[in-house]
Amino acid sequence: MDTLHFCIAILPVSVYLLLIGLINLSPRPFLTTGTRDLGALALAVSGFAITGPMELFLPESAASILHGWVWLPLLLLYVILVTLAVLLMRPRLIIYNVTADRLQPLLEQVVSELDAASRWAGNSVEMPNLGVQFAVESYAGMRNATLSSIGPDQDLDGWHRLRQRLQTQLATATRMPLNPRGFSFLFLAMMLAAGIVYSLLTDKQEIAQAVRQMLRM
């Protein structure tokens, strides 16, 4: 892999790791949706998609006519595929910086407030009046938890209300100690960023030539 392709592939990953590191070092729980989480991951691997399958299947006949503009439909196709995956995925909530013992009482309170007829079965919850069924999956090592929907019949408005109420409860939760894994993400992000900067400064001519070749200039 040449310098240009290395920088394109690694830059989104380093930004993603930096954000994950900062989130994990936050003293407050951070709640996001499965769609946003998947979108962020798609952006993180976009560099590998560009330097991998996009360039591999680049139509040379179109590139000879459109030159650099040939990348536009390929990028749009990637966005469409990611959007389709987001639309097809089931509802899911991800909570960073929370342990199972801290999340459980908050979640029980939110569930009972939103639906008095809710029922617990182990780590699974059914909220019939809200049209929501989910399972709680906790990852102690990463100090993260996921609420994953169970079954195809899910009320999106119910999930929206659950997210809003849970976010309000998490905002008032006690501060969590710093997650040491956050420093690992930050260190890795800084190492990748340093590698990109070093490559850009030492291989300027090679990068300029690779850009012209990539854009068919």
The pLDDT assigned to 24 comes to 87
Beta bridge partners of 127: 132
In the block, tokens 């989130």 appear at 23
CA 27 – CA 22 distance, rounded (Å) = 10
The pLDDT assigned to 217 comes to 64
User: In the structure encoding, which two tokens stand for residue 22, read together?
Assistant: 């900062």
- Report the chain (217 residues): mean pLDDT per 10 consecutive residues: 85 94 88 93 93 82 75 91 91 89 89 92 91 89 88 89 92 78 92 90 80 75
The pLDDT assigned to 1 comes to 65
- CATH of segment(s) 91-177: 3.30.310.80
What are the extents of the domains in the chain? 1-89+178-217, 91-177
Neighbours of 191 (CB within 10 A): 12
Q: What is the dihedral of CA 70, 74, 77, 78, to 10 degrees?
A: -150
The pLDDT assigned to 162 comes to 94
Question: Which has the closest alpha carbon to 20: 186, 191, 187, 176?
Answer: 186
